[in-house]
């Protein structure tokens, strides 16, 4: 709550500052539709410097930029079609009440009831992310225009007329010169923005990963769940100490109790009915961890610190089946001590066993990407490769999600801009590609018009389905 209050105060102060700045420089402003443009030559000088100094290297990169543009175009078209199919053919609109198309504005997670699915999106995040995303995107357009010998008239910022808190950057190039350039030069300019956004996303993702390991420290192995097993129904020998003679008896008793104690014909014991059908039952092993109701992260065993899965495995190797041990867990900010007796592992009778399941695998890169995706929910932020991490300082989580949003917004902007729709980079790239193939402006305009219509119909269907989900 304290962070939200500070953020709202910052939003108000920034709004007043921007309004004052625009009023003070009103003679330098130009209105175009709903936008107010503030032009400056600072960006032009930067574009000229980079374009001249790295011209050869940028011309080599241009081919990769164009290729990535087409890949992103195909990707976003697939995502829209796939999303529309799922949304229109399932009942997801009834469980997720947020509209399928929503603006990326500060606090959108709270406005649309998505707080359980996404981390907070503070105004501070919005401001910093938009400045980075827009600047990188537009300056890249300008730099690639420079190497294509297209004149840059001006650069600057565009503000919404009646709500200047929403703004973006722009690079104004000479459109007549742009049309005179060859296909490769034009395609390079149009794809440059999204190419830069992807590079920015990669850079900030690396920063994000490094920051996590600097700002958070491992304190113990996280208990994701208790160990579970799958039992063939015909192998169940007892349920609640009642001997089972056939499958029908087993199913009847399972249907009556979700907290049943179960034993199979090999003598292994289980507890609880998680799910079952006529052939199989999913249940927890009757493990030491389940009996002690261990929760949170295991931080110590017999006063020996546990900070990784390797630590846990090494300590358990030194123990014996039947040995009593003390376990300290960190749960909801508190340390809890439990005494348990190690059992034999049902998969390896010679090794002692606590009976927990943990997240994560051995591949660091794969687990890093999984952690980025899972940390959309704050409860998953501090769990990485089966280990629970604790903040080293108070604001560690705040800055983690700042980098997280910068990565995500760069990716979203890159995808959105490559949509083959009029007014977007993708629409223009699609048009000049069609023009290159058909050699006809008339046919090319009809093709892009057809795609625009299809996209608008899909969006209309999605919004209609969302509206009717309330009835």
Inter-axis angle of helices 55-89 and 183-215, nearest 10: 80
Cβ neighbours of residue 304 closer than 8 Å, sequence gap 6 or more = 311, 315
Q: Are residues 180 and 238 in the same domain?
A: no
Q: Are residues 97 and 167 in the same domain?
A: yes
**Residue 220, domain member (yes or no):** no
**Residue 387, domain member (yes or no):** no
Q: Are residues 164 and 275 in the same domain?
A: no
Q: Are residues 105 and 236 in the same domain?
A: no
pLDDT of residue 434: 95
**Residue 32, domain member (yes or no):** yes
Final residue of a structural domain among 300, 327, 357: 357
Instruction: Give residue-wise pLDDT tens across range 402-431.
Output: 999 999 999 999 999 999 998 899 999 999
Give the residue among 260, 227, 218 at the shortest CA–CA distance from 354.
Answer: 227
- Domain region containing 175: 27-215+401-468
Q: Are residues 193 and 55 in the same domain?
A: yes
For 146, counting Cβ atoms within 10 Å of its Cβ (0-12 exposed, 13-18 middle, 19+ buried), the class is: buried
Q: Are residues 139 and 200 in the same domain?
A: yes
pLDDT of residue 295: 93
> Strand runs (DSSP E) across 302-347, as ranges?
304-305, 324-331, 334-341, 343-345
Q: Are residues 68 and 205 in the same domain?
A: yes
**Residue 202, domain member (yes or no):** yes
Element (H, E) at 207: helix 183-215
Instruction: Give residue-wise pLDDT tens across range 2-47.
Output: 788 888 888 888 888 888 888 888 777 888 877 888 887 778 888 9
**Residue 380, domain member (yes or no):** no
Q: Are residues 296 and 325 in the same domain?
A: yes
Residues in the chain with pLDDT < 50? none
The total number of structural domains that make up the chain: 3
**Residue 17, domain member (yes or no):** no
Q: For residue 391, how many other CB atoms are within 10 A of its CB? A: 15
**Residue 22, domain member (yes or no):** no
Q: Are residues 58 and 153 in the same domain?
A: yes
Between CA 307 and CA 219 the distance in angstroms is 5
Q: Are residues 201 and 110 in the same domain?
A: yes
Q: Which residues pair with 310 in a beta bridge?
A: none
Q: Are residues 74 and 129 in the same domain?
A: yes
pLDDT of residue 31: 81
CA-to-CA separations, 418 to 82, 85, 404, 406, in angstroms, rounded: 17, 20, 22, 19
pLDDT of residue 1: 66
**Residue 86, domain member (yes or no):** yes
Give the pTM: 0.89
Q: Which residues pair with 331 in a beta bridge?
A: 334
Between CA 427 and CA 452 the distance in angstroms is 9
Between CA 339 and CA 327 the distance in angstroms is 6
> Strand runs (DSSP E) across 7-132, as ranges?
29-32, 35-40
Domain containing 331 — which CATH number? 2.30.42.10
C-beta separation of 208 from 90 below 8 A? no
pLDDT of residue 184: 95
Q: Are residues 134 and 274 in the same domain?
A: no
pLDDT of residue 374: 93
**CA 106, 109, 115, 116 torsion-angle sign:** negative
């Amino acid at each position: 709550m304290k962070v939200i209050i500070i953020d709202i105060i910052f939003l108000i102060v920034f709004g007043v500052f921007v309004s004052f700045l625009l009023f003070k420089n009103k003679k330098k402003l130009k209105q175009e539709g709903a936008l107010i443009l503030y032009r400056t030559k600072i960006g032009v000088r930067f574009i000229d410097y980079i374009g001249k100094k790295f011209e050869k290297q940028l011309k080599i990169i241009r081919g990769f930029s164009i290729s990535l543009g087409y890949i992103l175009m195909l990707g976003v078209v697939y995502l829209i079609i796939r999303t529309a199919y799922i949304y229109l053919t399932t009942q997801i609109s009834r469980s997720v009440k947020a509209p399928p198309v929503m603006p990326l504005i500060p606090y959108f997670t709270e406005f649309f009831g998505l707080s359980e699915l996404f981390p907070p999106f503070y105004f501070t995040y919005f401001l910093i992310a938009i400045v980075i995303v827009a600047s990188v995107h537009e300056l890249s357009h300008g730099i690639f225009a420079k190497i294509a010998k297209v004149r840059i008239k001006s650069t600057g910022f565009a503000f919404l007329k009646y709500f200047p808190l929403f703004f973006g950057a722009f690079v104004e190039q000479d459109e007549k010169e742009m049309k005179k350039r060859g296909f490769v030069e034009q395609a390079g300019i149009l794809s440059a923005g999204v190419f830069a956004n992807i590079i920015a996303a990669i850079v900030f993702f690396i920063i994000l990963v490094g920051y996590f390991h600097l700002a958070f420290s491992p304190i113990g192995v996280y208990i994701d769940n208790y160990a579970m097993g799958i039992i063939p129904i015909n192998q169940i020998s007892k349920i609640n100490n009642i001997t089972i003679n056939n499958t029908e008896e087993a199913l009847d008793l399972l249907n009556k109790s979700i907290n049943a104690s179960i034993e199979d014909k090999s003598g292994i014991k289980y507890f609880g009915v998680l799910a079952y059908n006529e052939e199989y039952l999913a249940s927890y092993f009757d493990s030491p961890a389940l009996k002690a109701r261990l929760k949170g992260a295991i931080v110590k065993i017999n006063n020996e610190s546990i900070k990784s899965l390797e630590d846990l495995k090494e300590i358990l190797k030194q123990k014996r089946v039947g040995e009593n041990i003390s376990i300290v867990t960190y749960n909801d900010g508190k340390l809890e001590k439990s005494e348990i007796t190690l059992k034999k592992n049902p998969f390896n009778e010679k090794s002692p066993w606590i009976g927990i399941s943990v997240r994560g695998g051995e591949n660091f890169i794969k687990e890093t990407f999984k952690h980025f995706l899972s940390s959309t929910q704050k409860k998953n932020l501090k769990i990485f490769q089966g280990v629970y991490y604790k903040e080293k300082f108070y604001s560690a989580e705040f800055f983690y999600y700042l980098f997280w949003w910068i990565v995500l917004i760069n990716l979203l902007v890159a995808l959105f801009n490559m949509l083959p729709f009029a007014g977007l980079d993708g629409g223009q790239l699609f048009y000049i590609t069609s023009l290159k193939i058909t050699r006809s402006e008339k046919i090319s305009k009809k093709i892009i018009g057809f795609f625009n219509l299809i996209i608008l119909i899909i969006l209309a269907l999605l919004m209609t389905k969302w509206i009717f989900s309330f009835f």
